[in-house]
Amino acid sequence: MHRCLWLAKNGLGYVSPNPMVGCVIVSGGKIIGEGYHAKFGQAHAEVNAIQSVLTQYPDHAHELLKEATVYVSLEPCAHFGKTPPCADLLIRHEVKKVVIGNTDPFPGVNGKGIQKLSAAGIDVIQGIEEKECRHLNRRFFTRIEKHRPFIILKWAQTANGFFAPLEPVQKWISSAYSKKLVHKWRTEEDAVLVGKNTVLHDNPQLSAREWSGRNPLRIVLDRNLDIPLGHHIFDHQAKTIVFNELKTDVKDNVHYIQMEDMQHYLPQKIAFQLYLMDIQSVIIEGGANILNQFITAALWDEARVFTAAVNWKTGITAPNIHGIVEEVLSLNSDKLILYKNTTNT
C-alpha cells in the first residue's frame, strides 16, 4: 500500500477533481504490474496497472491475474464516468483478492465497488493504511464531504510579526528559496486567490514560473472592478476569475463572476462558488484582510506561514492563527510553520 501511495502522488496537480490513486498487482509473491491515475479524463490506476501486466506478460497475463492480489489506495469505481468502472475490469480479469486503502465517498461509488467485487467472489480487504490514504486525498475528501474546496492559507511575516508595509509598495519578506517553494505549491493546487489590494500593490503574476508544472487558476476579489486591465493577472498565462459585484462576463481568459453583497459572509460565498466550479483546492495568498476573514470564519484546512529573520519598525500586522502545528522547517534564513485546522467547517 505504501507503494500505491508513492505512485498516486505522481498525479498531484493533474487529476483534480478526481482523487489521486495508485495500484500495485502482486502474483506469486512478485509485483507484476502497477499504475496510477495520471490525468483527469484519462485511464484510472487499475486500468494502467492491468495494462502493464498485459504488456509485460502477453502470453500468460490471464493466469497471473487469476492468482493476483490487487492493492489500490482507493476503492475501485463502480460507475461509468469519463472511463468505465474499474471494479468491472478487475472482475473481468478474475483477480483473486483486492486490498483497499479507503472507501470512496463519492455517491456513485461509496461501497458499491466493494459490493461488486465481493458479489463476484473476489476476496476484499479494506482499511489498510487508511489514515495515510485519506491524508493523500484530503482535497478530494473535503470537496465530497464538506461541499467546498480544500483551503490553504499562505503568507510571509517578519520576525516581529508584520505582514506588509504600511505604504502601498511591494516589499519582499521571505527568501528566494521560499518563493520557489511557493511556486511548487501552486502547481499542486487548482487555484490561487488574492484580494484587490494585493494585486494593486504587488502586481503579481500568480504563476508557477519558477517550478516545472502547470499554472493554477487565478482568482481575484475586486468588488468594484478597480484593477487596471494592464496588470499581470489579465495576461494569458492562465485563466483568471474575478469575483465582483458589478457583472458576469467572459473576455478571453478572464471570467467575471458577479456576487451579491461581498461585505458579508464572503469566505462562505467564495467556498461555495468554487465548489460549484469543481475547484478542489485553493491557496489564499493575501492580503491580510481576506486571510483574517477566512481565519475568523474557521474556513481553512492548512496554513503555511513563513517567518523571516528580518524586523520592520512598522507595517500591517500579520494574521494570528490558532491550529495544530504539524511541522516546523528551516529554509535558509526563513522558518516555515505548517498548521492544521481541527475545527474547520
Report the binding-site residues for NADP(+): 156, 172, 198, 202
CA angle 110, 115, 118 (to 5 degrees): 145
**How would you class 107 by CB atoms within 10 Å of its CB: exposed for 0-12, middle for 13-18, buried for 19 or more?**
exposed
Instruction: Give binding residues for substrate as ranges.
Output: 186, 206, 209, 285
Catalytic residue check, 260: no
Of 46, 75, 129, 189, catalytic: 46
Torsion (CA) 278, 225, 164, 265 in degrees, nearest 10: -50
Structure-block grid coordinates of residue 332 = 535558509
C-alpha cell at 98: 483486492
Report the residue count for the chain.
Answer: 345
Nearest to 156 by CA among 335, 340, 342: 335
d(C-alpha 260, C-alpha 1), whole Å: 47
Binding site membership for Zn(2+): which residues? 44, 77, 86
Annotated binding site: 44, 77, 86, 156, 172, 186, 198, 202, 206, 209, 285
For 128, counting Cβ atoms within 10 Å of its Cβ (0-12 exposed, 13-18 middle, 19+ buried), the class is middle
CA distance 138 to 280: 10
**Are the beta carbons of 127 and 87 closer than 8 angstroms?**
no
114 class by beta-carbon count within 10 Å (0-12 exposed, 13-18 middle, 19+ buried): buried
One-character DSSP codes across 222-272: -TT--S-TTSGGGSSSS-EEEEESS--EEETTEEEEE-S-TTSSHHHHHHH
Which residues are catalytically annotated? 46
